[in-house]
Structure 1
Amino acid sequence: MQIENIKTMDPYILLSIVNMKLRDMYSSLENLCDDLNISIEDILVRLKCIGYFYSTERNQFLAKDN
């Protein structure tokens, strides 16, 4: 996943990819971003616009109404 893709990718596809990687490969969003050399802020902003936030306790993005 490249940084250019994050800014143009459909946010629901991004949500799916990031949550899958968090579930299967990474113990935190920070680890994922460090390993893939991408900005945490870019992911947070993109997913916030569709109503999702990162839960450190669950290590996944969740809808704000959960």
Structure 2
Amino acid sequence: MSLPKDPMILLSFVNTKLRDEFTDLEEFCKEEDISIESLKEQLESIGFQYNETIRQFK
């Protein structure tokens, strides 16, 4: 499955997957075959940063 291209939809998709299916961002990125840094950069470009404590982008 390819990741959504729209950053806001990507944010929702990633946070839902992290909440429902994965224990952390690293596991999600391995499954989706995407680099953590690339994903963080995409979501930081719209003002969201990964919070390890709650395992979500806020």
Q: Same fold (TM over 0.5)?
A: yes
| Structure with greater strand percent | 1
The gaps in structure 2 that reach 5 residues or longer are none
Q: Deviations over 1:14-63 (max 9, x none)?
A: 0000000000000100000011211111110010011000000000000x
Structure 1 segment 17-56 matched on structure 2, within 5 A:
17-56=13-52
Based on CA coordinates, which of the two structures has the bigger radius of gyration?
1
RMSD: 1.2
The gaps in structure 1 that reach 5 residues or longer are none
Range with bigger deviation, 12-21 or 31-40: 31-40
Q: How many residues align?
A: 58
CA distance in 2, matches of 1:35, 1:13: 19
Letter in 2 for 1:28: D
Q: Percent identity?
A: 45
TM-score w.r.t. structure 1 length?
0.80
Which of 12, 18, 34 is the aligned partner of 1:16?
12
**Structure 1 runs (4+) greater than 3 angstroms displaced:** none
